[in-house]
Chain A
Amino acid sequence: MIIITGASRGLGKAISERLEKKGEEVIGLARSLSDLSIEGIECDVSDHASVKNAYREVKRLKKPLKAFINAAGVASMNMAVTTDESTVQKLIQTNLVGTIYCCQLFAPIMLRQKQGSFINFSTIAVSLALKGESVYAASKAGVESFSRTFSREMADFNVRVNCIAPGPIETDLLRGITDAQIKKIISQQVIPKQFQKSDVCDLVELLIDSRASSLSGQVLNIGGV
């Protein structure tokens, strides 16, 4: 069984559909089940009690958890000085705290089975320090830092933790970014081309595969930085 947060749209949806197509049993966590195309559990990752309830439901299934993918995320492209308080809180609460909640609450399933893989999501905005994305980048830098340290805590239990940092992939999160800005970001990647959702799905498949058993605590930048 593989669990994906934010499975109702964007990268989370693409990943869940890809994995299901590959024959994996996928359970999506989303705030609204009506938007889900796969089996799902209602969950708001920014709410500890909601994540805990989702954990209880999953635990009741008594099935091995192969991977947990934290794809839920929100973005707001603004300079810090023009970002209001509630947006700051929402970005940190969903992107960073939500990822931490899911990792800490679902980890016991993997600790018990001494196997499993967490995949968290960062962004190219962290390594490139993209102007106008300071709060968003801060939330994702937290995810990177958490993932690297969490990977060490999980390593004794044969549980791997990695982070994928995509560049500008076409999803709702790109709303408000102009084509010129996207081109500028892409030009700073090692491979200066715009990658697609399918490229992210490929990397997810690679990371959950047993052949990636040597990879943990890594931040994989799509396109390279």
Chain B
Amino acid sequence: MNKEQAKEAVIDIITKVLEEAEIKDEIVVTEEMHLIGGESLLDSMNLVGVCLALEDLADDHGFEFDWTSEVAMSKTRSMFRSVGSLSEEFASQSEA
């Protein structure tokens, strides 16, 4: 999965989670959107929902999405800092 496909998938999943959680109507999920911290629209429960959905998607594509690994989390900045960084990590794990 390349970065563009990963970004599309991540945005699609976040949009669905936000819709299901009825957090905000007609929200446009962008690459810059924060996933953690005060500016995030996702609470911790929704963020877990996103990770579970990405795990399922990874299963469908024949790879394992590890959202708890030291490698993924110990980078200076978390992969959850934005939609873009999560997409990059997802794409990277798909190619590993």
Q: Which residues from 205 to 225 on chain A have a C-beta closer than 8 Å to any C-beta of chain B? A: none
Q: Could you say which residues of chain B place their CB within 8 Å of the CB of A156?
A: 45
Q: Which residues from 58 to 111 on chain A have a C-beta closer than 8 Å to any C-beta of chain B? A: 104-105, 108, 111
Closest B residue to A59 using CB positions: B59
Q: Are B48 and A104 in contact (CB under 8 A)?
A: no
B52 within 8 A of A: yes
Q: How many of chain B's residues have a CB under 8 angstroms from any CB in A?
A: 9
A104 touches which of B44, B55, B64, B68 (Cβ 8 Å): B68
Q: Could you say which residues of chain B place their CB within 8 Å of the CB of A105?
A: 68
Closest B residue to A156 using CB positions: B45
Q: Which residues from 48 to 68 on chain B have a C-beta closer than 8 Å to any C-beta of chain A? A: 48, 51-52, 55-56, 64, 68
Bound CA–CA A105/B64 (angstroms): 14
Q: Are B45 and A108 in contact (CB under 8 A)?
A: no
A21 within 8 A of B: no
B binding-site residues for A, Cβ under 8 Å: 44-45, 48, 51-52, 55-56, 64, 68
Q: Could you say which residues of chain B place their CB within 8 Å of the CB of A112?
A: 52, 56
Counting contact residues on chain A (CB < 8 A from B), the size range is under 10
Q: Are B52 and A111 in contact (CB under 8 A)?
A: yes
Given contacts A105-B68, A111-B48, 12 further A-B contacts (CB under 8 A): A56-B64, A104-B68, A108-B51, A108-B52, A108-B55, A111-B52, A112-B52, A112-B56, A153-B44, A156-B45, A157-B45, A157-B48
Bound CA–CA A111/B67 (angstroms): 14
User: In angstroms, how far is the closest chain A Cβ from the Cβ of B1?
Assistant: 20
Bound CA–CA A108/B45 (angstroms): 12
User: In angstroms, how far is the closest chain B Cβ from the Cβ of A46?
Assistant: 17
Bound CA–CA A5/B92 (angstroms): 34
Which 8 A-B pairs have CB atoms at the shortest separation, nearest pair first? A156-B45, A112-B52, A111-B48, A108-B52, A111-B52, A108-B55, A104-B68, A157-B45
Q: Which residues from 131 to 168 on chain A have a C-beta closer than 8 Å to any C-beta of chain B? A: 153, 156-157
User: In angstroms, how far is the closest chain A Cβ from the Cβ of B52?
Assistant: 5
Q: Could you say which residues of chain A place their CB within 8 Å of the CB of B44?
A: 153
Closest A residue to B64 using CB positions: A56
Closest A residue to B52 using CB positions: A112
User: In angstroms, how far is the closest chain A Cβ from the Cβ of B14?
Assistant: 17
Q: Could you say which residues of chain B place their CB within 8 Å of the CB of A153?
A: 44
Bound CA–CA A157/B68 (angstroms): 18
Closest B residue to A56 using CB positions: B64
Bound CA–CA A157/B52 (angstroms): 12
Q: What would 14 A/B residue contacts be, using CB atoms closer than 8 Å?
A: A56-B64, A104-B68, A105-B68, A108-B51, A108-B52, A108-B55, A111-B48, A111-B52, A112-B52, A112-B56, A153-B44, A156-B45, A157-B45, A157-B48
